[in-house]
Amino acid sequence: MADSDDATGEMSDGLQVELFHPESDREPGDTNIQAAGFDVHPVVFPVALAIIALFIAVTILLGDTAASAYTWLFNTIGDTFGWFYLLAVNVFIITLLYFAFSKYGNIKIGGVKAEKEFSDFSWMAMLFSAGMGIGLMFFSVSEPLYYFQNPPSFFGAEAGTGAAASAAMAQTFFHWGFHPWAVYGLVGLGLAFFSFNRGLPLTFRSIFWPLLGDRIYGWPGHIIDLVTVFATLFGLSTSLGLGVAQVNTGLSYVGGDMLGAVSIPTGTWPQVALIAGITLIATLSVAAGLDGGVKRLSTLNLYLMFTLLGFLVVVGPTVYLFGTWVEGLGAYFGNILALGFFTGTLNEAANGTPTAWTVFYWGWWIAWSPFVGMFIARISKGRSVREFVLGVLFLPSMFSTLWLSVFGGSAMFNSLAGNGQALATYNEVGQTVAMFALLEQFPLGVVSGLLATLLVITFFVTSSDSGSLVIDHLTSGGKHDVPRTQRIFWALTEGLVASILLIGGGLTALQTAAITTGLPFALILCLMCYTVYLGLDNEYQILESEEFAETIQDLSEREDMDIVTAGDEMVTDISERGDDAPTGTD
């Protein structure tokens, strides 16, 4: 992307600016402080930095007390606010589908003259890599195995049976399917619309313009962006912590148990060392920017995923895996509505599934959504609302179910018809080793194990890259391009926070950070449903106005202009005839 794209408004042409942008003399980052290679917002950056430093200091000083506090807080939030998480995410799905299939679906992100900056393949690669790559690698085997032994009471299946396997796949699909991507889609749509269509800063404060107006540049906006920074940072730290735990265990298992060659230590400090090493790699990538680093690594991730997926399909029980996918989808779709509202309140034998799994996931997705949503918004200019929603909501969800079917289905097959070694190793060592124990049961297990480890590392790097770019936007007043020094600073900060959380409380601390920051942010997302509706409705009214019609009439009389309309005659695209500019780059 061009270095001159500092402000989103500058990326829209005169037509969009004249008719659609709000009347305001403010610009993204117009009050920033520029010094020592930084270009930062005078309030959001220092306040966020101070609170993050305080959090790190308290975690280190309290030691074991901090770990106990994290456990208590995680359980308290899950037990008290679990119902709210479940209700909110269902509202997000309904809202997003309404935007896509209503009259607002033809509205184009960036305005009627906007062009796509990335090809569909590059867009999908970046979208999926940023979304949940590390999580899928971590949980795709361990979560189905857990449910196989502890079937959610919702399904009434007997542990260790085929019915339990079916329930395991349906529950896993539920956690990784439409619900999380609806959260991402809502956030991404709101950010993209108010940034590209209204020329407002690419920060969360902009989404509340319909309610706050110019006050988004004051303390109400500062607070919104600060909450977003913390949700992004701690949601990202959760994923990075999970990823590095799997890298550590994977290297140890492949090098020691499978090869019998190298004994790699596992535990908190080796994982901190790995975070430091991988963060340095991420720093080099984020310094290269969105096109130079993130896009290329995201595309590499996608190729590596397809390679590992295809390998297991070929060497594994192929017919069984596709049958698992179809049967799992049937169980998922058949129960999706009831699962979406299942809190376990009326079922004393709920096995803790809603609190321990669903509520954690929803809190994690919500905390993760500023990062994923803003990144999706940044790469989605030129797509219609309907194309955006269908792309974000359905394609990654379906690919996730396929991935889970291949890896989770292989684990089910090994447990029901094989030697059961994957399940035995999972029970003995833990969830971080589940995928590697499974791959060991097939030919070329060492090679596939190393490939899986490489994939987790590249996901680690792209997640850190994307998170750094997002926090840069938030702490620079919404500017699109910030100094390289600043991008590097946040990449290093993310690694530091993930390390401190691991030292201060391990996996529970990571999960607690995600679910805690997700709670206040869930309230912001609920309000966002209304403000995005107001924005889209205002856009639609302008597109149907006499003033816009007169402008289009003038343009249609020019021989060098092409005007495209939807079925209801609403203008959806304006381009210069013979214009050979690209509509997306690979």
Residue-wise pLDDT tens digits, 99-130? 999 999 999 998 888 888 888 887 877 776 65
Closest by CA position to 507, among listed 301, 298, 248, 309: 248
What pLDDT does residue 528 have? 95
Q: Residue 106 is which amino acid?
A: N
Give the bridge partners for 563, in sequence order.
574
What pLDDT does residue 129 have? 63
What pLDDT does residue 101 have? 95
d(CA 237, CA 511): 9
Phi, psi of 343 (to 5 degrees): -100, -15
The answer to whether 325 and 405 have CB atoms below 8 angstroms apart is yes
In the chain, pLDDT over 90 holds for what percent of residues? 34
What pLDDT does residue 6 have? 39
Per residue in 14-46, pLDDT (tens digit) is: 666 777 777 677 777 888 999 888 999 999 999
Per residue in 378-389, pLDDT (tens digit) is: 889 999 999 999
What pLDDT does residue 293 have? 56
Q: Are strands 571-576 and 33-35 parallel, antiparallel or unpaired?
A: unpaired
The answer to whether 81 and 517 have CB atoms below 8 angstroms apart is no
Least confident of 52-61, 160-169, 319-328: 52-61
CA angle (126, 132, 138) in 5-degree steps = 135
Residues 6+ apart with CB under 8 A from 267: 248
Give the bridge partners for 255, in sequence order.
none
What pLDDT does residue 505 have? 66
What pLDDT does residue 353 have? 65
Give the bridge partners for 35, in sequence order.
38
What pLDDT does residue 423 have? 94
Q: Which two tokens stand for residue 310?
A: 């295809």
Confidence of residue 331 (pLDDT cuts 50, 70, 90): very high
pLDDT at residue 2 is higher than 50: no
DSSP per residue over 136-202, as a string? Answer: HHHHHHHHHHHHHHS--TTT-PPTTSHHHHHHHHHHHHHHHSHHHHHHHHHHHHHHHIIIIIT---S
What pLDDT does residue 211 have? 92
d(CA 413, CA 320): 8
The answer to whether 492 and 283 have CB atoms below 8 angstroms apart is yes
Confidence of residue 347 (pLDDT cuts 50, 70, 90): low
The answer to whether 554 and 18 have CB atoms below 8 angstroms apart is no
d(CA 306, CA 308): 6
What pLDDT does residue 74 have? 74
Confidence of residue 581 (pLDDT cuts 50, 70, 90): very low
Per residue in 200-244, pLDDT (tens digit) is: 888 889 999 999 998 999 999 999 999 888 877 877 777 777 778
The CA radius of gyration of the chain, in Å to the nearest whole number, is 24
The answer to whether 524 and 227 have CB atoms below 8 angstroms apart is yes
The answer to whether 388 and 192 have CB atoms below 8 angstroms apart is yes
User: Among positive and negative, which fits the CA dihedral 290, 291, 297, 299?
Assistant: positive
Most confident of 265-269, 348-352, 403-407, 478-482: 403-407
Q: What size, in residues, is the chain?
A: 586
User: Among positive and negative, which fits the CA dihedral 91, 97, 100, 101?
Assistant: negative
Q: How far is CA 226 from CA 95, 346, 370, in A?
A: 25, 37, 11
In the chain, pLDDT over 70 holds for what percent of residues? 87
User: Among positive and negative, which fits the CA dihedral 532, 534, 537, 542?
Assistant: negative
Torsion of CA 425, 431, 432, 438, to 10 degrees: 50
Confidence of residue 3 (pLDDT cuts 50, 70, 90): very low
What pLDDT does residue 580 have? 47
Q: Supply the mean pLDDT for the chain.
A: 83
Closest by CA position to 475, among listed 207, 237, 201: 201
Burial category of 306 from C-beta neighbours within 10 Å (exposed 0-12, middle 13-18, buried 19 and up): exposed
Confidence of residue 311 (pLDDT cuts 50, 70, 90): very high
Q: Which residue has the higher pLDDT, 346 or 359?
A: 359
pLDDT at residue 425 is higher than 60: yes
d(CA 325, CA 409): 8
The answer to whether 362 and 179 have CB atoms below 8 angstroms apart is yes
Least confident of 230-239, 264-273, 423-432: 230-239
What pLDDT does residue 569 have? 66
Residues 6+ apart with CB under 8 A from 279: 464, 491, 492, 494, 495
Domain locations in the chain? 16-544
pLDDT at residue 11 is higher than 60: no
d(CA 40, CA 479): 9
Q: Which residue has the higher pLDDT, 207 or 254?
A: 207
> Tokens 């979560």 sit at which residue?
143
d(CA 307, CA 298): 14
Q: Which two tokens stand for residue 413?
A: 């097959």
pLDDT at residue 185 is higher than 80: yes
Q: How far is CA 117 from CA 184, 272, 468, in A?
A: 20, 37, 21
pLDDT at residue 143 is higher than 90: yes
What pLDDT does residue 4 have? 35
pLDDT average, residue stretch 510-524: 78
**pTM of this prediction exceeds 0.95:** no
Confidence of residue 577 (pLDDT cuts 50, 70, 90): low
Question: How is residue 491 annotated by DSSP?
Answer: H
d(CA 168, CA 173): 9
d(CA 160, CA 348): 21
Per residue in 430-456, pLDDT (tens digit) is: 888 899 999 999 998 889 988 988 888
CATH of domain 16-544: 1.20.1740
